[in-house]
Structure 1
Amino acid sequence: MGGWEDYKPAMAMVGLQICYAGVALATRAALLQGMSPRVLVVYRQAVATLAVAPIAYVSRWRISGGSSMGLRSFSLMFLASLIGVTINQNIYYEGLYLATSSMASAMANLVPAITFLMASIVGLEKVNIRSLRSIAKIVGTVICVAGAIFMALLRGPKLLNAQSLPAKSIFGSEGEHWLLGCLFLFGSASCWSLWLILQVPTSASYPDLVSLSSWMCFFGTLQSAAVTLFLEPDLEAWTLHSNIELFCCLLAGILGSGISFFVQAWCIAQRGPLFSAMFNPLCTVIVTISAALLLHEEIYLGSLIGAVGVIGGLYVVLWGKAKDLQVINRKTDPESQNDQKSSTRKTILIDWSLQTSYKLDLEEPLLCEKATNTNENKP
């Protein structure tokens, strides 16, 4: 029919990026009010588990009675949760606190480039220096990393605002810890990329992806709670002292790991994973402007230039990946589809990374299967 229906996916993605920006700003506000970053991780994962578990329970028995969990599946889930949830989110929130929400949002755009680099090292992504699309992905990766280094090391003159942080991070406070915050955010992006790599054997061992996400949220809650109890011996840190802290936990858990899955999965089913990834930098723009106005975050010229570099590099990587998908779709036909499944499974790994934005939640395993089906069925 066209018309209104054609604009629905784009409107949904814009709305989703606005929601992601709201989660980032609410999280930053809660941290500035004194909430422990480590406690926030535990509460977020607990809320996410409660939000996803009922859906997983219903879908598990609707699909051939569900998948069984063996020792291999359990081990892979536990490792993926440790890297992708416990370590990842703890250092992310530390970085978010020590740096800024705009920096955290910009750094998240590094994930596709880092994932491409890791996938190339382990052989999941083939690199042909004579291919224009491979060169584009390599150049885009270099631009992304260079932009991130520029943001961290060459902050430049301050354009707007100044602030002083309360000492709630275990590493201290104040602006001198900016570089440490940037390193944490870069480490978080690297952990997320490694988590994406781990999804290949994990989803193969436990193909019930909705239930897989539920289990990883649950494992992440237990692991994060153990880390927090070790680093936060004062039980007072577990108390929520304001409505903004409660709102942040609910928003990050329900929206970040619940509703966002359905919206993004629908958009990917309609237009594919690259369409979804194209909107990720919008969140960075919204967060940067809103954080400066609402939270009075510091804005530096060097940070803005670096963020532009990261976003530009992201689109170069996306272009290269789009060309890869075109080649795959041309080669895939009803007669050779079975021979292409192994290759498609490997190349779809980067599509997982293209679906990420600043948020560090667990919808990607759910989206992966839809992305695979979409790319295999569309011309």
Structure 2
Amino acid sequence: MGEKKPYLAVILVQSIYAGMFLVSKAAFNGGMNNFVFIFYRQAAATLFLAPLTLLLEWKNRPPLPFVTFCKIFLLSLCGITLSLDIYGIALVYTSATLAAATTNCLPVITFFLALLLRMEVLKLRTSSGIAKLIGIAACMAGAATLAFFKGPHFKLLCHHQIFGSNDSQELAGHVSSGKTWIKGCFLMLMSNTFWGLWLVLQAGILKNYPSKLLFTTLQCFLSSIQSFVIAIVLVRDPHEWMLGWNVRLLAVIYCGIMVTGVTFYVQAWVIEKKGPVFLAMSTPLNLIFTMVCSAILLCEIISLGSLMGEVLLVGGLYSVLWGKNKEEKMNDKNCIIVDAEKGCSELKQVIPVANKGQLPV
């Protein structure tokens, strides 16, 4: 059973993410403003993480210089506040399935940004470099297919929405409108780009401020303030801020606690046991769960273009991950060879010294 725990953990993580797309889309279908939703979500995450931080890391917290605080503030603005706000608008324009599909672009986008910032290397004369390039091209082709090609539509067994109060035909027409869909695809990719930039830039900050839980809590707190300012400027109607005992409250609690709180620890545990590549390779499970559940529960219509684009995105993801994994294995092998040669050279230097006091035979 111990060997199966990482596999069960990644299934749990991806099912939680699939639930995030579903309840978020259901809340937006129910009329919830996305800017208000992002504020409530980040506030709920802050309230959940703050006691854990005070209990586990507050006594041993490292000093926080003002420059580092400013970097964390800008990182929160770019990677969390703007990314989630843009994601919310895109989800209103598109579907939960598209949101899950574009998450397969995230590792590829992150690699591409790291390549531009010279944190990664692309060797085109090696099989790993060619695989990475093919993966980037496949993801770009998949994103273009999702945005510009529809094709025949498929509708699974669905008679009414389990969450929404809007008519399913009205929602289907809204999702299938060409200009709105293309705008949503563009915004979803922009959101993932901000999120990938957040992943790349936070590595440098964590070197100077290694307290991960406090770092995450501080980002959630700063993002709550930032998203509140954006929401209060753009949303003046008091009725938009009311939650009630409905899907809006469910979405806020679920995204704030389950997504930000639970998956943070589960993902860290999976990475520690199996590595980041293992976790990244489980991302398509999120797409499968979301596609089936959104078609059945939210009555979302799946098109042939969406299926083709999703296949290209998943293929591009695995191509980049395969190239990255092979490159890491080659680097490890080269390190072993270098260490062995270094040990041999040191041994050759020791042997003559040891033989100096001996008489020739």
TM-score with structure 1 length normalisation? 0.82
Equivalent position SS for 1:183: helix
Shift of 1:293: 0.8
Aligned to 1:43: 40
Aligned to 1:29: 26
2:131–2:322 contact (8 Å) kept in structure 1 = yes
Aligned to 2:145: 150
User: What is the RMSD computed on CA atoms of the aligned residues?
Assistant: 1.9
1:164–1:175 contact (8 Å) kept in structure 2 = no
Shift of 1:57: 2.1
Equivalent position SS for 1:163: helix
1:85–1:220 contact (8 Å) kept in structure 2 = yes
- Taking a change above 3 Å as real, the CA distance of residues 17 and 96 of structure 1, as seen in their structure-2 partners, is same
| 1:169-188 equivalences in 2 (<5 Å) | 175-176=177-178, 177-188=180-191
Aligned to 2:277: 274
Shift of 1:5: 1.3
Asked if residue 83 in structure 1 is aligned to residue 78 in structure 2, the reply is: yes
Higher relative contact order (CA 8 A, sep 6+): 2
Asked if residue 14 in structure 1 is aligned to residue 17 in structure 2, the reply is: no
Aligned to 2:240: 237
Aligned to 2:162: none
Q: Which runs of 4+ in 1 moved over 6 A?
A: none
1:45–1:221 contact (8 Å) kept in structure 2 = yes
Asked if residue 117 in structure 1 is aligned to residue 112 in structure 2, the reply is: yes
Equivalent position SS for 2:57: helix
Asked if residue 127 in structure 1 is aligned to residue 122 in structure 2, the reply is: yes
Letter in 2 for 1:93: G
TM-score with structure 2 length normalisation? 0.86
Aligned to 2:170: 164
Asked if residue 249 in structure 1 is aligned to residue 252 in structure 2, the reply is: yes
- Taking a change above 3 Å as real, the CA distance of residues 234 and 219 of structure 1, as seen in their structure-2 partners, is same
Equivalent position SS for 2:154: strand
Give aligned pairs, total: 325
Deviations 1:170-206 (A, max 9, x none): xx98734111111110101111111112112221232
Q: 1:215 aligns with which of 215, 218, 242?
A: 218
Aligned to 1:377: none
Deviations 1:313-340 (A, max 9, x none): 100011011112223433557x97xxxx
Aligned to 1:368: none
- Taking a change above 3 Å as real, the CA distance of residues 52 and 243 of structure 1, as seen in their structure-2 partners, is same
1:151–1:303 contact (8 Å) kept in structure 2 = yes
Alpha-carbon distance in 2 for matches of 1:61, 1:243: 36
Deviations 1:5-61 (A, max 9, x none): 111110121122122211211111111011111111001101111111222223324
Asked if residue 97 in structure 1 is aligned to residue 92 in structure 2, the reply is: yes
Letter in 2 for 1:313: G
Letter in 1 for 2:177: G
Equivalent position SS for 1:164: helix
1:147–1:307 contact (8 Å) kept in structure 2 = yes
Shift of 1:273: 1.1
Asked if residue 308 in structure 1 is aligned to residue 311 in structure 2, the reply is: yes
List alignment gaps of at least 5 residues for structure 1.
Answer: 167-171, 337-379
Shift of 1:76: 0.9
Shift of 1:163: 3.5
Alpha-carbon distance in 2 for matches of 1:68, 1:184: 37
Alpha-carbon distance in 2 for matches of 1:174, 1:228: 28
